[in-house]
Amino acid sequence: MLTAPKKPFDIGPVYYAVAPGPWGWMGLAASNKGLIHIQSVVPNEKAYVNFLKRSFVGTPEKNLRRLKPATDQLRLYLKGKLRSFDVPLDFVTGTPFQKQVWRKLASIPYGETRSYAWLARSVKRPNAHRAVGNANGKNPLSILLPCHRVIQSNGDLGGYSGGLRIKRYLLELEKTGSASL
């Protein structure tokens, strides 16, 4: 679901690309500093551009060349051939707490999972399981900041903003090197 903030962020030029993924189209956006957004599922390019217009001041510019490193790395990851990303990220959205949670996600190793309780303890808010879950759900750089690796303490998957089908896919991909929908 493409939910824009109440007030658009003014960060300068925003560049975007829409690329095919195993479950449909994915949207990627970047500032001059780095990747700012990945949307696991977009209905089409027009819908993603409209989301970006509501989220950021100015008109997004399609720029496949600027986003090529990110799209190439995502493509390799989704084929089971890449375990970590090295594209620059630009955290322009989110509260300080959300950014703290998102940065902690990057420490979860490929192919492993952690619980919401672990994540809450890791950001020194041991009773904030629900707040951590909400921050996880607002992660603007899903897959690169692997919120799919966070599950419930009892082993259940919990939620995923891209849908549980995609979360299962990503976890299976990391576990076995391949996955199917």
Amino acid at 61: E
In eight-state DSSP terms, residue 109 is P
Please report where in the chains the tokens 């819908």 appear, as a residue. Answer: 47
Please give the Cα distance from 16 to 31 (Å, whole number). Answer: 9
Closest CA to 159 of 132, 137, 139, 130: 137
On the 0-12 / 13-18 / 19+ scale of CB atoms within 10 A, 10 is exposed
Strand pairing class (35-42; 114-115): unpaired
Q: Which of 147, 151, 171, 173 is catalytic?
A: 147
**Any catalytic annotation for residue 147?**
yes
Dihedral sign (CA 99, 73, 173, 180) = positive
Please give the Cα distance from 147 to 9 (Å, whole number). Answer: 23
Please give the Cα distance from 48 to 53 (Å, whole number). Answer: 9
Q: Which residues are catalytic?
A: 147
